Structure 1
Amino acid sequence: MVKNSKILSIMNADGTETLGVVTPKGVIDVRAVAKKMKIAAPVTLDQLLQEGNAQGFNKVVASADQSGVPYLQESNITFGRLFKSPGKIVCVGLNYRAHADEVGMVHPRVPPLFNKYNNSLAAHNCLLQIPPPSVSYKLDYETELLIVIGKQMRNVPESAALDYVAGYCTSNDFSSRDLQLELPSGQWMIGKTLDQYAPIGPYFVTGDLVGNPNNLQVKTWVNGELRQNSNTSDFIHNTQKMLSYISTYWALEPGDIVFTGTPQGVIAGMPKDKQVWLKKGDKVVSSVEKLGELKFTLA
């Protein structure tokens, strides 16, 4: 697995989304350096994780200076999707004590699991195209720590679970509460996997740079107003427990991603007379400590 790296995705003029590596000198354009230096290297994060060519990636990073390819300024980059085709997008629901309390639900004995699909993946700084009100109007934010798998794991004990993690990202499990909670029988998948309902970014940060994932500050702002302010130490099921539990039912593969639940402060947890749902033009900022601020605007 790749180490000591902070990675972003570049949306190129030709429509491709390729790797950039954040360094003190600027952002390394991995595709451009690999081509110039004739290095066989992964050019997307999916490739890097799923194919495992960390050696080629590291060679590109080490060759950046001598390649003559200019470093990019992050402020000039249009961000692409960090993930385009993960094998699985697994989501854990109701995983913060204070959030379970605010919505009046019992703390779950095991991690409740659901899923998103690849259509929901969206980039940092995206315009998130919300559905028409006739489809859904109770739109809500859910800032979450995202776990990125680096090695196949199956029936892994909690004590070893972090050894299988490649890194982490800031993410938002954007939700339509009317679809999730008010359709017959509750439709969690429908309420959470419409197009662009999984913004992720701006960075993928390797696990060695993050350290303990169970003690990270998590925040959300809407139009500049702080709405969520918590810490992953409030997890009901910590990172190791989530991964170990999931791996008892199926293998997690390199490049799979896991949403880990959101803390208190969501609109759904407010008294009904205080619930003002998100609307077109709202600007959402999601932050997880050490992982950067994910920004998107509703359109």
Structure 2
Amino acid sequence: MVVSAETLTCIDVADASAGRFGPRAAQVLDAWAEFRAWAAEAALDPAADGKPFALDELDAPSPEPRQTFAIGLNYQDHADESGLAYPETPPTFTKWVGSFAGPVGELRLPAETVDWEAELVVVIGARAEGVAAADAWSYVAGLTVGQDYSERTLQLSGPAPQFSLGKSYVGFAPQGPWLVTPDELADPTSLAIECRVNGETVQKSKTDRLIFSIPALIERLSAVLPLLPGDVIFTGTPAGVGGARKPPRFLHVGDVVETTIEGIGQLRQVCVASDSPRS
């Protein structure tokens, strides 16, 4: 899908390419280099030829990753508020694909300790194995906005914390609204990131404050296993999460969470009870 964000119209890539790319996003990401070359030459005009759509119709930009990586404690200020030492290697867990959602919709609250975590998300565009940080950007398909919603009670329960499980309830990994290629951003290494709850800013930072930069993460992860086209990396959250506040603050039914990253766009979730009818 090629989108005109101003008028919210899009061109279906599968139709425009006569079936060469798509219709599934994973099929496009598996052929990302070829798709980029085709798109650069194709006469695509979403404003003139596109079809209208609504943001709540969108899924995550890479809705079927073979692997999802999530990085903890990747901003110094978040480590500080958590009372933990700065990591020497990226703490890594996952968010299962069943938690993926599009940029706009409802967030069902399964418990009373659901927290917010604004994050920059990376989507991989080529198989990356043993990649040096200096070459890492060439393996990135694009960047998007993400939320790493977390149910803190489950996440921190038991003798071994359940990070992946506590962060993978349905709808706990919204992403979008677009996948933005790094060349479309003035400086993809330094983007303003912000989260607001009911209009109040609760997180505000810049992605140049990451402890492990995007290239460093790709280098370290790809030294362990191959990163595959369409794979998703949640890069970590800055300070301001609810669980670190005194007293702690968590999400309630009716809260509206808006997450924005400079040059990419915004997510918006409305919190509802876990037993609310699905819209």
Same fold (TM over 0.5): yes
Alpha-carbon offset, residue 128 of structure 1:
1.8
Q: Does the Cα contact within 8 Å between 2:259 and 2:268 map onto a contact in 1?
A: yes
1:242 aligns with 2:217: yes
Which residue type is aligned with residue 150 of structure 1?
G
Which residue type is aligned with residue 284 of structure 1?
V
Secondary structure of the structure 2 residue equivalent to 1:148? strand
Which residue type is aligned with residue 250 of structure 2?
W
Pairing partner for 1:189 from 164, 174, 182: 164
Secondary structure of the structure 1 residue equivalent to 2:243? helix
After superposition, the C-alpha distances for 1:73-93 in whole angstroms (9 at most, x for unaligned) are 455873233232111111111
Alpha-carbon offset, residue 186 of structure 1:
1.2
Q: Does the Cα contact within 8 Å between 1:216 and 1:233 map onto a contact in 2?
A: yes
Alpha-carbon offset, residue 261 of structure 1:
0.3
TM-score when normalising by structure 1: 0.83
Matched ranges for 1:58-77 at <5 A: 58=39, 62-64=43-45, 70-73=49-52
Secondary structure of the structure 2 residue equivalent to 1:129? strand
Q: Does the Cα contact within 8 Å between 1:102 and 1:269 map onto a contact in 2?
A: yes
Mean Cα deviation higher: 40-49 or 228-237: 40-49
The residue aligned with 1:27 is 9
Pairing partner for 1:103 from 75, 79, 82: 82
- Equivalent-residue separation in structure 2 for 1:242 and 1:291 (angstroms): 21
Distance 1:241 1:32, change over 3 A: closer
The residue aligned with 1:283 is 256
Alpha-carbon offset, residue 56 of structure 1:
8.6
Alpha-carbon offset, residue 61 of structure 1:
5.3
- Equivalent-residue separation in structure 2 for 1:237 and 1:54 (angstroms): 29
The residue aligned with 1:230 is 205
After superposition, the C-alpha distances for 1:210-241 in whole angstroms (9 at most, x for unaligned) are 25332111100001111001011211111111
Pairing partner for 1:114 from 93, 96, 100: 93
Which residue type is aligned with residue 22 of structure 1?
S
How much is the aligned-residue C-alpha RMSD, in angstroms?
2.4
- Equivalent-residue separation in structure 1 for 2:134 and 2:192 (angstroms): 23
After superposition, the C-alpha distances for 1:242-293 in whole angstroms (9 at most, x for unaligned) are 110000100001110100000000001211x2x2210222110011111101
The residue aligned with 2:143 is 168
The residue aligned with 2:275 is none
The residue aligned with 1:297 is 270
- Equivalent-residue separation in structure 2 for 1:60 and 1:80 (angstroms): 26
Pairing partner for 1:207 from 170, 182, 201: 182
Which residue type is aligned with residue 162 of structure 2?
Q
- Equivalent-residue separation in structure 2 for 1:207 and 1:140 (angstroms): 29
Alpha-carbon offset, residue 183 of structure 1:
3.2
Alpha-carbon offset, residue 22 of structure 1:
2.3
- Equivalent-residue separation in structure 2 for 1:76 and 1:143 (angstroms): 19
1:147 aligns with 2:122: yes
Alpha-carbon offset, residue 24 of structure 1:
6.1
Q: Does the Cα contact within 8 Å between 1:96 and 1:264 map onto a contact in 2?
A: yes
Which residue type is aligned with residue 261 of structure 2?
V
* Structure 2 unpaired stretches of 5+: 273-279
Sequence identity percentage: 31
The residue aligned with 1:81 is 60
After superposition, the C-alpha distances for 1:154-200 in whole angstroms (9 at most, x for unaligned) are 11111111111111000001101111123332111111112111000
- Equivalent-residue separation in structure 2 for 1:252 and 1:211 (angstroms): 26
Q: Does the Cα contact within 8 Å between 1:39 and 1:56 map onto a contact in 2?
A: no
After superposition, the C-alpha distances for 1:52-73 in whole angstroms (9 at most, x for unaligned) are 35069628951558xx984234
Pairing partner for 1:90 from 62, 66, 69: 69
Secondary structure of the structure 2 residue equivalent to 1:201? strand
- Equivalent-residue separation in structure 2 for 1:158 and 1:258 (angstroms): 15
Which residue type is aligned with residue 27 of structure 1?
T
The residue aligned with 2:35 is 54
Count of residue correspondences: 271
Distance 1:83 1:146, change over 3 A: same
The residue aligned with 2:106 is 127
* Structure 1 unpaired stretches of 5+: 1-18
TM-score when normalising by structure 2: 0.88
